[in-house]
Every structure is written in C-alpha cells, then in structure tokens.
Structure 1
Amino acid sequence: MFAATLVLAPLAAPAYADAPASSLRPMPSPFSDAAMPATSPSAQPGPATGADPNIAPTTGLARSLRPMPRPQSLEAGAVLTAAVPTPDLAPDRAPEPQQTKRPKKERASKKGSVCGDPEIKGEALAPIKGKVKGCGLDKPVRVTSISGIRLNQPATFSCDTARAMKSWIENGLRPAMGRREVVEIRVAASYICRSRNNKKGAKISEHGRGRAVDVAGFVFADGSEWSILRDYNRQVRRAHKAACGIFGTTLGPGSDGYHEDHLHFDIAQHRNGAYCR
C-alpha cells in the first residue's frame, strides 16, 4: 500500500506545479454595485440635498427590486368608463333619420266639413224661416259632396238627411254600381217650401222641412252619365231598393206617376215602417 503511494506521488506532482499562486476571484454579480454604472453625485441626492435616509439607494439589487408606483385610487362616486370606438362616416354622408310609418289610410280632413262628419263637405247656414206654416229649418246645411262624391249643385237640408244620404251612398249606391265609380250625383231638388207633389191644399212636403232630396241621375269616372228617366236599369233599381229603410220614404219610376224622372228620398217616420215604392 505504501509502495503504491510512492509510485503515484511523482505523477501528481506536476499538476500542483501549474496551480495559480492565488485563488480565482468570483465574477461580480449582475445586481452588485460594481456591475451597475456609477451615477454622478449630482444625480444621487445625498443627505445635504434633502434625501430621505429611510429610502434605499437606487443602485444594484435594490434598484432592480424597486416597487412600481401604485395606480391612483378612484374617488368616491367616480365611474371607470372605457372609450367606445365610433364608426367612421363618410364626410359627405350623414346618418339617415329614422323613418316613421304612416297610417295605411289617411283620416279625412275636417276642413270644410259639416254635421260633425269629415265625409260631409259644405257649410252651415242660418236658420230658415218659412213663409208658409210648416216650412222652415232650424239648422240647415248646404252640402257640396258626401263620401267623396260631389253634388252637381249644393243641396240644402238637415244634418239628419245628409247622414242618411251618406249611409245610402256607402251601403246602397256603391255596392249596386259595382265597378262603375260614381263621381257625381245629380240633385233635382232639396229644400223648397211647397206642398206634396205641388198640389194645392196638400200637406207640406218633406222638402219644405229640409228632410228630403231628389236624385235625377249619376255621372261616372269614365265620363258617362245615367239618368233616372232614361236609364232606370237593373243597377239603378238595386240602388233605389237599397235606400228603403235608410230613408223613411223612397219613391221612383212606377210609384205614383209623379216620380218618373227622379228618386225621392226623405226621412219621415211612418207608423207602419218605411214607405217604399
């Protein structure tokens, strides 16, 4: 054992001969003061310039671990909002205003209407004093059109008569004419102070009370015209018949010989119901 040691000793001697005279110095740490660039005295405030001794110097490891400043807290009641991007608009185009839907059917205008009905156009008149007993009208109206159909001449009668005529136009005349559009009604007579059938000594006619109207014919949208005297056809007869019940009295061709050229309508009330001939 001792012999082996003696043999190996000469071999290990050269390795110790090349060893350095002193031990190696460790490399400076990247966070040490030596690894950091030195700051000038003017940039590093000392005790004479008001530096706080309780704050660690900003060099070396202390500088690398320096805490970030805390964000300022929101005051009470403050709301944190985010910016919302707005779409770019062309410089020559502004946002289009929102369109509002219009009603499908416009209401009839009340301008120029009478009897509280926008479908009855005309004007109110002063009370009519009759020269003959039984004639006269307290609240007459002069009507120029009803339900969009004009009258060839203004008709003077009561509002009750005007409303009855409107009902007949919408529920009797138009359905009877079908596709033929009536644009004008030819009125033969409205208010007039006279006796029935112009007979002397007869009772006062409903015309003298503003409660009757005589219709002599019709004008259509295509310009054609029908008269009661010449064109008392199937459609006109249907319109005549439809007036029964809307009016208290309806008379026409073949009724009594006095109404061959016109239809007579009035709102008189009869004990046995409507009188229709």
Structure 2
Amino acid sequence: MKRFGAVCALVAVATVAHANAPTGSLRPVPRADGTPVVTAPAMAAEAAPEVPAAPSDDRIAAQEPQIERRGLFKSLRPLFRSRKVEKAARAQRETLRKGAVCGDLAIQGEAVGRIRGETSGCGVDNAVRVRTVSGVKLSTAALMDCATANALKTWMDRAAKPALAGKGGGLQSVRVAAHYACRGRNNQKGAKISEHGKGRAIDISGFVLSNGTEISVLQGWNARSHASALRQMHQAACGPFGTVLGPEANKFHRDHFHFDTARYRSGSYCR
C-alpha cells in the first residue's frame, strides 16, 4: 500500500507540472501584469538579421557609377584613354613598326638589301642601315647585317645602358667611328679584308649622356671618373661579339672600341 501511494503521488506531481508548462516555449509563462508570451519561433524571427532581396540587373547598373565614385574599383590607370591619347599611341606604334629592321622594334632604321663590294671579299647580304638601338641614337646611321645589329642591341641592353645609368641622366647616343667599308684590316693596304667590309663590324669612339656630357674612349679609358664604366662595357661585349678590341689591344684601337661578329672555333677574341 505504501508503494502504491508513492506511485500515485509521483503521477500527481507530473500531471501538475505538465499542466503548468508553457506551450511552444522554453521561457516562463506570461506574468500576471499581462506581458505577452514570446514563443521560440517568434524569438528566432526577431533575432534573425534581415536579408535584402537580390538586386535586379537594372538596379546593379544604376549603382555602378556610384560604386566607381566611391573608389571601390579605383585604378592607377584610367579606365578609358581619350581619343587623342589613343591616337598618339597608335601613331607611335605604327612609326616604330615601319622603322623596325631585323624583325625587332628596338632596332630602328631601314632595310638596304644587298650591297655589292668594290673588290672581292666585300659586300653584305640583306644589309640594314641602323639609326637607333634600344632608344640609343647612333651618331651616324650604320650599315651592317642583322646578326651585327642584334649583337649591338644585346650589348646596349646588357652593358652600355646599365654601365652609364647613374651618370648624367643615362646614355643618349654613341659616337660611331666606322661601320661598313670595303677595306683591309686596320686600313692597311694589302691586308686581309676587314670585317667592316662584310657588314659585320662597328667601331664606337664615345658616348653622349642625356645632360650633354661626352665620354670618349681615348680620354676616358684611364680617367678616374669613367675608366670603370668603359672597362665594364668593353668586357661585356665579349660574347655578343666574336671580336672585341680596345685601347690596350694595339695602337690602332687606342681611341675606339672595335666590335665584330666574326666567330672562331676557340671562342671570342677579346683584347
């Protein structure tokens, strides 16, 4: 009987607890002052952030100018260039294209074609007359073949311009002492035909900087302010060119660099 009475008491307590529990909520039932019951679904709806509807294409298009003005898509370059600027750029590209030789925009000049030598051993096939190389002017338009023009460009980019980059605003032009000429080596009568007579050589006697300063090979080779740069250019030519001669080679080259593209089995000849 005692056990039966205990079970009845537990059932009665559970019944009362169930009757007093709020419906659909884990929070207390309404208070006596009439405060409304907040159900769990209502709480979730109240706490959830409002998600805006996806904008239409028209709305996006209308907002684009505002976004651009706010700088979200700010660029270091203008989105659209003016017609004047674009026209000038096209004209420059067209000028470079028309002036390019040897298939390289960095080598500017004109195609000459075949040059027939005055004597046996002279002459150039597919000669070009080069005026500027990598933006550096030649004091005299130089006749040569494309192999020599390409070697000159490599040397200009890798040696001449870097060597003088920190002087007087950089390299502006070079003094050409000789290019194509049907003659013997070192201008000696009866000597073997020079590489100049085959369009494979160029002699450079000096360099002009952007501020007007001129550096001559003759005077600058042993000058404290220019010796290092001149030696750097002389040494770096060995490779792009097959023969490199300078002031210390012999008496014929005291005042200029001689570069040519003759190749030897033993490698480049540089003095």
- Compute the TM-score of the two structures, normalised by the length of structure 2: 0.63
Of all paired residues, the percent bearing the same amino acid is 47
Gaps of 5+ in 2: 1-55, 64-77, 82-88, 222-226
Corresponding residue number in structure 1 for 2:233: 239
Q: Note if contact 2:176-2:205 (Cα within 8 Å) is conserved in structure 1.
A: yes
Q: How does 1:1-277 map to 2 (within 5 A)?
A: 99-100=79-80, 109-180=96-167, 181-232=170-221, 233-277=227-271
CA distance in structure 2 between the aligned counterparts of 1:99 and 1:146, rounded to whole angstroms: 33
Quote how far apart the aligned CAs of 1:216 are.
0.5
Measure, in 2, the Cα distance between the counterparts of 1:131 and 1:111.
31
Displacement, 1:111?
2.8
Instruction: Give per-residue Cα distances to partners, 1:18-58, cap 9 Å, x unaligned.
Output: xxxxxxxxxxxxxxxxxxxxxxxxxxxxxxxxxxxxxxxxx
**Distance across 2 between alignment mates of 1:153 and 1:167:** 19
Write the deviation string for residues 173-209 of structure 1: whole angstroms up to 9, x where unpaired: 1222231200001100000000001122211000000
Which residue matches 1:65?
none
**Counting helix residues as a fraction of each chain, which structure ranks higher?**
2
The structural deviation recorded for 1:172 is: 1.2
User: Partners of 1:256 and 1:202 in 2: how far apart?
Assistant: 16
Q: Distance in 1 between matches of 2:161 and 2:206?
A: 14
Q: Partners in 1 of 2:187 and 2:213 — Cα distance?
A: 32
CA distance in 2, matches of 1:224, 1:134: 39
For the aligned residues, what is the CA RMSD?
2.7
Q: Shift of the alpha carbon at 1:152?
A: 0.8
Asked if the contact 2:108/2:130 (under 8 Å) is kept, the reply is: yes
How far apart, in 2, do the equivalents of 1:276 and 1:87 lie? Answer: 69
Say if 1:87 and 1:193 are closer, same or farther in 2 by CA, change over 3 A.
closer
Structure having the higher Rg:
1
Structure 1 pair 87–219 and aligned structure 2 pair: CA distance change class (3 A): closer
